[in-house]
Amino acid sequence: MSNTVHMIFPLPTTVVLSEALFITVVAFVIASAMRAPLSLSMSLVGLLVGFSTSRHLHMDYAFTSTVIGMWFVAPIIAALFTFLMLKVINKTRPRDVWSRVKVYKSLLVIFSFLASYVLGANTVGLIVAIGGFETFTVLVAVMAILLGSVFLSDREIRRVGEDIFSLKYSNALIALLTSTILVEFATLLAVPLSSTQTLSAGVLGAGASYRHKLMSLRPFLVIVVAWVIVPILCFVIGYFL
């Protein structure tokens, strides 16, 4: 992710990167008040592109276009893949329902760990790359993640896990699996990809796979609006800062 930062913002300075992190924190506070899960990757990339554009730096436009293109492609893939997988799963009738539930629960634990792993490699790696890969920076980032996850994430969790539609074990597993695969693939390409995007789109695809399932599109639309507005707003702030 260090190379990613340099390709988008070739001449990073401590002051500018500190401003980028500060603005991102402010954006997250506002998004939390709106109960809108916000993509940290999209916010930071928008800011750095704005900084580079205003300073006429020679950033890697092909790579930047790839990153932005993934913002559009990845949610579509996540929604479609989850939709199709659950269509297949829902057609099967297990002999022992409780045994299948136990398998789902075990796999959920495994893929929750893997999702956290790829999140660390991708999104958290991007944050630490901006601050510098030093022991103190990494420890601070890990501590902040723990505090934020425990004390500040309940509203966003309810937005994704309850407001769109009530998740079952199979829904949650396939959505999590899809998100993990996509983010890991992006990480191998050194592309910052929003797990918020892929997971939310996966949840939408899971809801759409049921013919007679109540699903609310309004919470998802709030999330999508945030995906569109926040990177543009961050770009404008980075451009004029």
Q: Residues, the chain, total? A: 241
Answer left, alpha or beta for residue 89, where phi above 0 means left and psi between -120 and 50 means alpha. Answer: alpha
Domain count, the chain: 1
CA distance 94 to 29: 45
* pLDDT for res 206: 82
Q: Is the pTM of this model over 0.75?
A: yes
The whole domain housing 210 covers 2-240
Q: How far apart are CA 115 and CA 97, in angstroms?
A: 26
Q: What confidence score (pLDDT) does residue 112 get?
A: 80
Q: How far apart are the first and last CA of the chain?
A: 24
Dihedral over Cα of 215, 218, 222, 227: its sign: positive
The pLDDT value recorded for residue 191 is 85
170 contacts 219 by C-beta, under 8 angstroms: no
- What is the residue-level pLDDT of the chain in tens, covering all 241 positions? 667 777 777 766 677 667 777 777 777 777 666 666 677 778 888 888 888 888 888 888 888 888 889 888 999 999 999 999 888 887 877 777 778 888 888 888 888 888 877 877 777 777 776 666 667 777 777 777 777 666 655 555 555 555 555 677 788 888 888 988 998 888 888 888 888 788 888 888 887 877 666 666 677 777 777 778 888 888 888 888 7
Specify whether the backbone of 132 is left (phi greater than 0), alpha (psi in -120 to 50) or beta.
left
pLDDT of residue 132: 65
Alpha carbons 213 and 121: distance in angstroms, whole number: 35
Question: CA-CA distance, 16 to 163, in Å (whole number)?
Answer: 37
What pLDDT score does 80 carry? Answer: 93
